[in-house]
Structure 1
Amino acid sequence: MSGIFPETVMQTSRLTLRPFTGGDIDDTRAACSDELTQRWLPLPRPYTREDATAWCTEVAHALRESGDGIHFAIADASNDRLMGTVGLKKTDWRARVSEVGYWVAPWARGRGIAAEATRVLGEWLLTDRAFQRMELLAATENTASQKVALRAGLHREGVLRNAGFVHAGRVDLVLFSLVPQDFQSRPPAPTDPSS
């Protein structure tokens, strides 16, 4: 049993999650060439403008159309500038499980963007799309990514030994998850007494 996620745009007060476009090429190239991004993701090295063009105009869209997942550009809601990406991959349609991944551009780091986008995507996947589990894998030494996972509401489950690879070689990965019950058990949002 397989499927395809519908082309989707999601909005928060400060972020737009939308499909990649040709207008994202230069920012994608700059972000994916960044030393920290390259440290934790096995991206092409060097990451060229051709790599960015292929991702923004073909690859990200083809991955959705193949049923593998869906990839969103995280854009600033005020000016549409690319700040990062969040996406689903390795989707198991029968088991209703998908894996989330993200990166944040150097100019947008430190503002909680990845956690906010991951939480929005998780809620969409587990409530709107009726999936049963969203997983996230982060290298044991990638403490920033692990903090994002926890801020996004994911639960740490354990360590998968020698399960990942980066440019420097094999790494252990920490497994995090989010399930529908995580949204059912959260406290209600505070109400505005002035309304």
Structure 2
Amino acid sequence: MSENVFPDIVLRTARLTLRAPHEDDVDAIVAAVADPLTQRWLPLPDPYEREHAVTFVAETAPTVRASGRGLIRAIECDGELAGLIDLKNTDWRHRTTEIGYWTTPAVRGRGVMTEATVALSRWALTEAAFERVIMRIAPGNTASIRVAERAGFTYEGVARNAGIIHAGRVDLAIYSLIPADLTT
């Protein structure tokens, strides 16, 4: 592994496989990102076309990893795409990174994203030796706040006017997980 590039890992939990997105995921990505709830909280293209997903899988995801900026993983549950999760805004010098994600409508409310967040954040803090993983969540996005809390992240406060969604600027609640949290 290059010093400042995440390895092309596959993580497995009891129900999930976190792996690189591939061409077979394209149609499921298009359908999931077109969902109104996904569009509400993420500033993704709207409409989200097939060519966006093709470019994301073939170019964006591999480039993000190769550049050291982050790591994008498809979440597979029962052989189906259940969402995407990524490490982003990675700062190798300070060993910090941020988790972002979206879930397909079919698996919402089943704990899939909490399980994926636990797997990826714990890996980042242990195997990748990071010192801090954060989540930045619009305060109205109660489902994502529940994921952060159930995954063991600590609420730190609000970064005012720090995010952008289709409706405009929003505050972002900041949650963090550090290595010491894993031993308590």
TM-score by length of 1: 0.92
* Alpha-carbon separation, structure 1, partners of 2:58 and 2:138: 29
Q: Max radius of gyration: which structure?
A: 1
Aligned-partner SS, 2:130: coil
The runs of 5 or more residues in structure 2 that have no matched partner are none
Give the partner amino acid of 1:120.
A
Q: Give the alignment's Cα RMSD to 1 decimal.
A: 0.8
Q: Which residue in the other structure is 2:159 paired with?
A: 160
Per-residue CA deviations over 1:36-72 (Å, capped at 9, x if unaligned) read: 0000000001000000111112111111111110010
Give the partner amino acid of 2:158.
V
Q: Which residue in the other structure is 1:54 paired with?
A: 55
* Alpha-carbon separation, structure 2, partners of 1:54 and 1:105: 19
User: What is the deviation of 1:95?
Assistant: 0.2
Q: Which residue in the other structure is 2:30 paired with?
A: 29
Q: Which residue in the other structure is 2:126 paired with?
A: 127
Give the partner amino acid of 1:139.
A
Give the partner amino acid of 1:135.
I
User: What is the deviation of 1:177?
Assistant: 0.2
Aligned-partner SS, 1:128: coil
Per-residue CA deviations over 1:166-194 (Å, capped at 9, x if unaligned) read: 00000000000000011111xxxxxxxxx
Once the two structures are superposed, the pairs formed by residues 52-91 of structure 1 within 5 Å of their partners are: 52-76=53-77, 78-79=78-79, 81-91=80-90
* Alpha-carbon separation, structure 1, partners of 2:118 and 2:13: 11
Q: Which residue in the other structure is 1:181 paired with?
A: 180
Moved over 6 A (4+): none
Per-residue CA deviations over 1:138-171 (Å, capped at 9, x if unaligned) read: 0011111111100111010000000000000000
Q: Which residue in the other structure is 1:5 paired with?
A: 6
Give the partner amino acid of 2:137.
A
Q: Share of identical aligned residues, percent?
A: 51
Q: Which residue in the other structure is 1:193 paired with?
A: none
Q: Which residue in the other structure is 2:139 paired with?
A: 140
